[in-house]
Amino acid sequence: MQTAEIKRRFLAHFAAHGHTVVPSAPLPAISDPNLLFINAGMVQFVPFFLGQRTPPYATAASVQKCIRTPDIDEVGKTSRHGTFFQMNGNFSFGDYFKADAIRLAWELSTKPVADGGFGLDPEKIWATVYLDDDEAYALWRGIGLPESRIVRRGKKDNFWSMGIPGPAGPCSELYYDRGPAYGPDGGPEVDEDRYLEFWNLVFMQHEITDVTSKEDFTIVGDLPKQNIDTGMGLERMASILQGVDNLYEIDEVRPILARAAELTGKVYGKQSGHAASESHADDVRLRVIADHVRTALMLIGDGVTPSNEGRGYVLRRIMRRAIRAMRLLGWHDRALPELLPIARDCMSPSYPELAADFERISQIAYGEEDTFLGTLRAGTTILDTAIADTKSSGGAQLSGAKAFQLHDTYGFPIDLTLEIAAEQGLAVDADGFRALMAEQRARAKADAKARKTGHADLSQYRAVLDANGPTTWLAYETLETESKVLAVLPGAGDIVTVFLDRTPFYAESGGQDSDAGLLTGPNLKAEIIDVQRPVKGLIAHAVRILDGTITTGDTVHAAVDPEWRTGARQAHSGTHIVHAALRHVLGPTALQSGSYNRPGYLRLDFAWRGGLSDATRSEVEEVANLAIRRDLPVGVRYVPLDQARAEGALALFGETYDDTVRVVEIGGDWSRELCGGTHVDRSAQIGSLAVTGESSVGAGQRRIEAVTGIEAFRYLARERDLVGRLAAQLKSRPEELPDRVAALLARMKQVEKEAETLRDRLVDLDAEDFAANAVDVDGIAYVGVTTTGDGKRLAEKVRQRLGNRPGVIGVIAGAGIVVTVTPAAAERGLSAAGLIKQLLAGRGGGNDAFAQGRATGDPADLLVRLRDLTRTA
């Protein structure tokens, strides 16, 4: 049974039993500050379980895309570790409980394939329950499971919590016996390879506190409502139903692995036995490739782009591990153009949007691979230099600091550093590297901890919402309201958070900054400095009190600054117009991946490889302004999400949308996007638009910036004034400025070249004079001088002038000293590095021919001591 069919059957089974089918949330966990990615099927339902939001349905079912990366280094080493996986789940929010959860799971698992089930052999299914969960035990006995196949286990295995105070409860896990070929008899406690867990039923019935670990907490009572949260691993069920060993061999993964093996000439699983295959180095690398390429496809598909922080860093690391694994298997060409289309074909039956959006996805992926291949070349050069310096100084070990720098700054893999160093006969200070990595992880954890607000932080907002109901939000209808103050939460200094029964203020969302304005009353004057939606349905106003006080129950006049809103509308509509102009000029793959706009300013990130030429940038700007000049109508419609997508409305990657969405159209289908922002009524109201910059924000990602309205006029006026002043200074007409400036630059380069030639000649004359007047020190020609020029260059010139004579040259330039010896002196045992270390008490460095360090003390004294060292050497 194909994986897509397993997914379809799961959702159909629960839909037939009254569950609402909920689409998977995007992989980036945008709504949860504690997570980078969705890592479990229940994450999007957490606010319902915690009571922060009222669920719109009593029961639900979903197949959630998930990412787990804490054990990324273990991927491929066993059959259990993978980064991307899919979790089938059914959920009850105070509706059914244990009996129905167990019945529904058993029915789907054992129902014949012909009847829409999975057709598992009931005689091969085992169940585990929590130690004292006699109710679950009895229910499984009632289903027909014998006592011999029901196992009681402790908190570590069969008690679930989120790791924080809140809901928790016992769980029951289902295992499938894959037979003696996979391990010994005896059930899950004996061998969890043979007995493969495929479904976990969580009975959320308790409230816990004093949580210090998974097994250390206090149960303070039962929840007001009992909930169900289940998770059935889609990949695990696929491996069972497809009769394969592990997740790497199912239909959504194996073709990627097979193509990698074909390209590299490797044979997967060539050693006998499951354990042997897992430990074979080539098999591990092939598994890494298959897993990581699929994961990269899914992450980019959900709007993540490679970068050096956060989600983008995880994606970059995953992609580079896959590319590196291909190189270790002997493939040195571009790998992703060979592998990513295979992953697309594997996953598009379940996620057809991947095929529709593949051109954008592939552009980002291939651009990142090209960048990394350049990194490998640059890193190899840096590593070669470090190895040469280590060997020339007599060292046998590359420092951990250098290995960490290569890894952290240049993205150069540590395993490649180890491999290349070993080829050159050097070890690497692995302990030092690991210590620096540990420090980095500690900093990252501290940062993550600092970012964690915890779900409990929302309780104060939830209390306001529960007590007063949702805010009546009128930002689309009016700029002013008479409002009642529902609650005031204290803040820092003169800033408080205010909740109103109705508000005209736009809350920051969809890339648009929040409104500015005033709250006024008989005894109040306060400015709005921020507006947010901390929980769905509630608007929170950050307010700075300018005069008077504000208390619950007050009636206030809420007024948006009309100039602010006008500028915001111009900028947001301008963002849509720039997006449409980019797609008009560059093609449909130039899709927005993020945006930000405030009054008079906008920026838009989009998928594209390579910078835009001046001509292309000008064309985008012209297309945008022509659309503004045409005075296109701007319309808003509310339609079902499926209808909006069918009509070609563009959505922002990574965003979650309700079933009914707001579609903003400019000129009908000229620009059609899902958007919750405020907009002008007709495009001409934008005034004008000027592109101010275009830059890279990551591999395959560009950023365009622009100003609109009065800010565009001011920008163009400044540009005009600047051109006018330059033209006056250069005594040229404005249109002649480019040629005039180019001529001046060419002349400057010529003058610099002539000056450099003159400097070289002067150094040559000095070097000739110094060499001719070298002091004889026991048969060694010694030259010790100071200079205001380039000490290294002068030392090298003197060395050349000494020719075949044994000689030592010391040159002090500023705060640095350079020491070099001629080949004839080196044959006598003189070493530049040795001399400078003696001279500077161990400081300084270099090789036998050339060394340098910091000149401390009197320069004349240093040169005399160098002469004496030459004699004693």
Reduced 3-state DSSP string for 581-614: HHHHHHCCCCCEEEEEEECCEEEEEEECCCCCCH
Domain assignment present for residue 746? The answer is: no
Mean pLDDT in the chain?
88
pLDDT classification of 126: cutoffs 50, 70, 90: very high
3-state DSSP call for residue 781?
strand
584 marked as part of a ligand binding site: no
Q: What integer is the mean pLDDT of 171-181? A: 95
- Percentage of residues in the chain having pLDDT higher than 90: 56
Residue 512 CB coordination number (10 Å): 25
The DSSP 8-state label assigned to residue 25 in this structure reads P
Q: What integer is the mean pLDDT of 794-819? A: 92
Domain assignment present for residue 307? The answer is: yes
Round to whole Å and give the CA distance between 435 and 93.
Answer: 46
pLDDT score at 451: 38
pLDDT score at 846: 86
Domain assignment present for residue 574? The answer is: yes
Pair (858, 764) in one structural domain: yes
pLDDT score at 655: 65
Q: What digits encode the pLDDT tens for the residues 591-628?
A: 888 899 999 999 999 888 788 999 999 999 999 999 99
Pair (221, 326) in one structural domain: no
572 marked as part of a ligand binding site: yes
pLDDT score at 450: 43
CA dihedral over 196, 201, 202, 205, signed as positive or negative: negative
Helix (H) or strand (E) holding 562: helix 562-586
3-state DSSP call for residue 175?
strand
Round to whole Å and give the CA distance between 324 and 368.
Answer: 13
Among the ranges given (102-111, 490-499, 693-702), the one the predictor scored with the smallest mean pLDDT:
693-702
**In sequence order, what are the residues at sequence separation of 6 or more whose Cβ sits closer than 8 angstroms to the Cβ of residue 173?**
127, 128, 157, 158, 188, 197, 199, 200, 201
Q: Is pLDDT at 723 greater than 90 in this prediction?
A: no
Instruction: State the total domains in the chain.
Output: 6
pLDDT classification of 654: cutoffs 50, 70, 90: low
**In sequence order, what are the residues at sequence separation of 6 or more whose Cβ sits closer than 8 angstroms to the Cβ of residue 527?**
516, 517, 518, 519, 543, 544, 546
pLDDT score at 47: 82
Q: What digits encode the pLDDT tens for the residues 454-485?
A: 343 577 888 899 889 999 999 999 999 999 99
Q: Is pLDDT at 245 greater than 90 in this prediction?
A: no
Which tokens hold the place of 301?
Answer: 């598909």
Nearest to 95 by CA among 19, 10, 208: 19
Domain assignment present for residue 765? The answer is: yes
Domain assignment present for residue 64? The answer is: yes
Pair (123, 146) in one structural domain: yes
Pair (351, 415) in one structural domain: no
Q: What digits encode the pLDDT tens for the residues 526-568?
A: 999 999 998 889 999 999 999 999 999 999 999 999 999 999 9
Pair (824, 705) in one structural domain: no
Pair (28, 52) in one structural domain: yes
Parent domain of 765: 758-872
Pair (490, 549) in one structural domain: yes
Name the residue with higher pLDDT: 645 or 456: 645
Beta bridge partners of 207: 167, 221
pLDDT score at 441: 64
Round to whole Å and give the CA distance between 66 and 353.
Answer: 17
CB of 420 within 8 A of CB of 387?
A: yes
CB of 551 within 8 A of CB of 512?
A: no
Q: Return the CATH number at 606.
A: 3.30.980.10
pLDDT score at 175: 96
CB of 355 within 8 A of CB of 342?
A: no
pLDDT score at 31: 64
Pair (245, 341) in one structural domain: no
pLDDT classification of 453: cutoffs 50, 70, 90: very low
3-state DSSP call for residue 271?
coil
Alpha helices in 162-253 (DSSP H): 234-241
Q: What digits encode the pLDDT tens for the residues 37-49?
A: 888 888 888 888 8
Q: What digits encode the pLDDT tens for the residues 330-354?
A: 898 999 999 999 999 999 999 999 9
pLDDT score at 273: 45
Q: What digits encode the pLDDT tens for the residues 406-451?
A: 877 666 777 778 877 887 888 888 888 888 877 776 665 554 444 3
Domain assignment present for residue 586? The answer is: yes
Q: Return the CATH number at 771.
A: 3.10.310.40
Beginning with the edge strand found earlier in the chain, give each strand of the sheet holding 634-640 in spatial order: 634-640, 660-666, 671-674
pLDDT score at 385: 84
**In sequence order, what are the residues at sequence separation of 6 or more whose Cβ sits closer than 8 angstroms to the Cβ of residue 867?**
775, 777, 782, 784
pLDDT score at 278: 46
Domain assignment present for residue 590? The answer is: yes
**In sequence order, what are the residues at sequence separation of 6 or more whose Cβ sits closer than 8 angstroms to the Cβ of residue 523?**
548, 549
Round to whole Å and give the CA distance between 390 and 396.
Answer: 7
Round to whole Å and give the CA distance between 694 and 582.
Answer: 12
If you write DSSP's letter for every residue of 376-402 in order, what string do you get?
HHHHHHHHHHHHHHHHHTT-SEE-HHH
Pair (464, 442) in one structural domain: no
pLDDT score at 360: 87
Residue 173 CB coordination number (10 Å): 20
Pair (569, 551) in one structural domain: no
3-state DSSP call for residue 776?
strand
Pair (70, 89) in one structural domain: yes
Q: Is pLDDT at 810 greater than 90 in this prediction?
A: yes
Q: What digits encode the pLDDT tens for the residues 849-858?
A: 999 888 877 8
pLDDT score at 79: 66
CB of 292 within 8 A of CB of 319?
A: yes
pLDDT classification of 286: cutoffs 50, 70, 90: very high
pLDDT classification of 32: cutoffs 50, 70, 90: low
Q: Is pLDDT at 581 greater than 70 in this prediction?
A: yes
Look at residues 523, 558, 593 and tell me which one is the last residue of a structural domain: 558
Name the residue with higher pLDDT: 342 or 816: 342
Q: Is pLDDT at 274 greater than 50 in this prediction?
A: no
Look at residues 558, 574, 606 and tell me which one is the last residue of a structural domain: 558
Q: How far is residue 415 CA from its own chain's centroid?
A: 23
Amino acid symbol at 265: G
Amino acid symbol at 775: V
Q: What integer is the mean pLDDT of 774-782? A: 91
679 marked as part of a ligand binding site: yes
Which tokens hold the place of 350?
Answer: 């379940």
Residue 381, φ and ψ in degrees, nearest 5: -65, -45
Q: Is pLDDT at 279 greater than 70 in this prediction?
A: no
Domain assignment present for residue 270? The answer is: yes
Round to whole Å and give the CA distance between 629 and 687.
Answer: 8
13 marked as part of a ligand binding site: no
Q: Return the CATH number at 535.
A: 2.40.30.130
Pair (57, 202) in one structural domain: yes
Burial class (CB in 10 A: 0-12, 13-18, 19+), 199: buried
3-state DSSP call for residue 717?
helix
pLDDT score at 454: 39
Look at residues 249, 279, 298 and tell me which one is the last residue of a structural domain: 249
- The radius of gyration of the chain's CA atoms, rounded to the nearest angstrom, is 35
Q: What integer is the mean pLDDT of 579-598? A: 90
Own/partner pairs for 408-414, CB < 8 Å, 24+ apart? 408/436, 408/440, 410/375, 410/378, 410/379, 410/382, 411/316, 411/320, 411/372, 411/375, 411/379, 412/375, 412/376, 412/379, 412/380, 412/382, 412/383, 413/320, 413/321, 413/324
pLDDT score at 128: 96
Q: What digits encode the pLDDT tens for the residues 249-258?
A: 999 999 999 9
